[in-house]
Amino acid sequence: MFDFTDRELKTAHDIRIIGAPFDGTVSFRPGARFGPAAIRHASDGLETWSPALNADLESIHYADGGDLELPMGDVALVLAIIREAVDECLNDGATPFLLGGEHLVSLPAIEAVFDRYPDLVVIQLDAHADQREDYLGVKLSHACVMRRVCELIGYDNVRQLGVRSGTRDEYTLMQRFQTQACLREESLAELVDWIGGRPVYLTVDLDVFDPSCMSGTGTPEPGGIDWWVFQRFITALQGCDMVGLDVVELAPQLDPSGCSSVLAAKAVREMLLMAGS
């Protein structure tokens, strides 16, 4: 379903999938670099139809640009390559959809989208706050990505859902700026009201799911959401102006059953439909 047969991107499309297979700053278990390939492979077993969204992938225009070639030992160059690919996508009039890779790959994509949409808001689904000032002295880390995003676009323009792990300083920061939001139905209605007509970048770290259904991720955290909560969230955001998306932190080799890859691919399908229909 998602593949790079359209690598030259000659067909007109509204959404462009960009693989970002990088996991050079992961802090626990590596393997997210294999995420994009696993999502594509698992997608072959999915239906194109989403009954929850009443939409079909065959009715939207998307293309897959394949994976970027990223040097594992040079974080700055990796981020620059991703930024260039997202800039090119935006120049072509398409919405970027990154497949990670670790969560740091979101940063250059958000930077590029923010340059085009200065009133951008960012919605984060994640088990972790990712609000550290640095991790072991490194500021460009998957553990710090949302801190860098907040510094870029402002804390008032960020909402974090599903977070259940972080340092005392991170929780103090989230409470101070009230970036946390809930996934209850009434809270999602408030979230959509807060978004209003502003453009949205949605970043989904797959460890937001409970390890019982998403074991294939580098930093699993007990107490996460299930598929039905995610489906409710996606349905609530249908109709919002999605100008950038990503799904990150699938480490498929950590789940030999392959179920984590299937869940990730299905999440990508729903997000594509939500953004494109």
* Tens-digit pLDDT string for the chain (277 aa): 777 555 557 678 999 999 999 998 888 889 999 999 999 999 999 999 999 999 999 999 999 999 999 998 899 999 999 999 999 999 999 999 999 999 999 999 999 999 999 999 999 999 999 999 888 887 888 989 999 999 999 999 999 999 999 999 999 999 999 999 999 999 999 999 999 999 999 999 999 999 999 999 999 999 999 999 999 999 999 999 999 999 999 999 999 999 999 999 999 999 999 999 8
Q: Is 126 annotated as a binding residue?
A: yes
User: pTM surpassing 0.85?
Assistant: yes
Retrieve residue 83's tokens.
């930024």
Which pLDDT score is estimated for 4? 55
Among 165, 143, 149, which Cα is nearest to 27's? 143
Domain locations along the chain: 15-276
Q: Is 210 annotated as a binding residue?
A: no
Q: Is 157 left (phi over 0), alpha (psi -120 to 50) or beta?
A: alpha
3-state secondary structure of 100: strand
Which class for 75: exposed (0-12), middle (13-18), buried (19 or more C-beta within 10 A)? middle
Which pLDDT score is estimated for 5? 53
54 CB contacts (<8 Å, ≥6 apart)?
none
Q: Is 61 annotated as a binding residue?
A: no
Angle, nearest 10°, between helix axes 259-276 and 227-237?
A: 10
Which pLDDT score is estimated for 135? 82
Q: Is 128 annotated as a binding residue?
A: yes
Which pLDDT score is estimated for 8? 54
Interatomic CA distance for residues 214 and 133, integer angstroms: 28
Interatomic CA distance for residues 142 and 31, integer angstroms: 14
Interatomic CA distance for residues 124 and 179, integer angstroms: 10
3-state secondary structure of 56: strand
Are 251 and 36 a contacting pair, CB within 8 Å? Answer: no
CATH code of the region 15-276: 3.40.800.10
Are 93 and 13 a contacting pair, CB within 8 Å? Answer: no
The b/e string for 145-163 (b: 16+ C-beta within 10 A; e otherwise) is: bbbbbbeebebebbbbbbb
Interatomic CA distance for residues 249 and 94, integer angstroms: 24
Q: How far apart are the first and last CA of the chain?
A: 17
The dihedral built from the CA positions of residue 273, 52, 110 and 117, taken in this order, carries a sign that is positive
